[in-house]
């Protein structure tokens, strides 16, 4: 029996180790709300939104913060840990990007794929120490290459405002 081929979501012939910014979304397995809780209250007539990380979310947060230590040419510009997904704005810095091998036809993984893999693997390892049965992440991730300053600003605004729009989010689960 031949298995169906997975849909290709990466840009063909794009080097994901190239200097630049990347918007990444990673979802939990079955989109379970296990990373954070979002509370909306009122503060002087304006809604106040808070994101409270669960223990699992705190572990994920620590691994995200460690990415620049692991990959010296990678910066985490902005991120948010939502109940069942995370959004990251990652930047590969030009002057240091040459240390990493670019994506090659021989199957070598790009810096972006390595960083996402490291995040998923290390957060899962730490969580499995306490809960070995928990499958944390869904397979794969979504990414968008940031093409210009306007795109960058819109992504930053989206990440910043995501908790306030949680009930309308495409990943929302009550």
Q: In this predicted structure, what is the pLDDT of residue 97?
A: 45
User: Average pLDDT for residues 26-37, to the nearest whole number?
Assistant: 96
Q: In this predicted structure, what is the pLDDT of residue 39?
A: 86
The answer to whether the Cα torsion of 116, 21, 23, 80 is positive or negative is positive
User: Average pLDDT for residues 74-87, to the nearest whole number?
Assistant: 96
User: Average pLDDT for residues 14-42, to the nearest whole number?
Assistant: 85
Buried b (16+ CB within 10 A) or exposed e, 53-80: eeebbebbbebbeebbeebebbbbbbbb
Spatial CA neighbour of 57 closest among 156, 152, 136 = 136
Q: What is the pTM assigned to this prediction? A: 0.81
* C-alpha span between 15 and 110 (Å, rounded): 7
Q: What are 108-141's pLDDT values in tens digits?
A: 668 888 999 999 999 999 999 999 999 999 999 9
The answer on pLDDT for 3 being more than 90 is no
Q: Confidence class of residue 168 from pLDDT cuts 50, 70 and 90?
A: confident
Buried b (16+ CB within 10 A) or exposed e, 3-34: eeeeeeeeeeeebbbbebbbbbebbbeeebbb
Contact 74, 94 (CB under 8 A): no
The answer on pLDDT for 104 being more than 50 is no
* C-alpha span between 111 and 88 (Å, rounded): 15
* C-alpha span between 122 and 142 (Å, rounded): 19
Average pLDDT, the chain: 83
Q: In this predicted structure, what is the pLDDT of residue 54?
A: 97
Q: In this predicted structure, what is the pLDDT of residue 100?
A: 45
Contact 95, 24 (CB under 8 A): no
Question: Which tokens belong to 155?
Answer: 């992504």
- Calculate ∠ Cα 49-61-8, nearest 5°: 95
């Amino acid at each position: 029996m031949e298995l169906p081929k997975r849909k290709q979501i990466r840009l063909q012939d794009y080097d994901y180790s190239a200097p630049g910014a990347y918007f990444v979304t990673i979802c939990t397995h079955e989109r379970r709300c296990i990373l954070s809780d979002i509370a909306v209250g009122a503060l002087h007539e304006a809604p106040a939104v808070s994101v409270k990380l669960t223990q699992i979310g705190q572990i994920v947060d620590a691994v995200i913060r460690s990415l620049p230590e692991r990959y010296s040419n990678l910066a985490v510009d902005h991120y948010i840990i939502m109940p069942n997904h995370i959004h990251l704005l990652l930047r590969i810095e030009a002057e240091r990007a040459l240390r990493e091998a670019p994506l090659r036809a021989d199957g070598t993984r790009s810096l972006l794929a390595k960083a996402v893999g490291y995040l998923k693997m290390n957060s899962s390892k730490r969580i499995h120490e306490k809960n070995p049965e928990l499958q944390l992440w869904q397979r794969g991730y979504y990414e968008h290459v940031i093409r210009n300053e306007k795109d960058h600003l819109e992504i930053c605004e989206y990440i910043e405002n995501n908790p306030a729009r949680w009930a309308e989010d495409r990943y929302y689960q009550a």
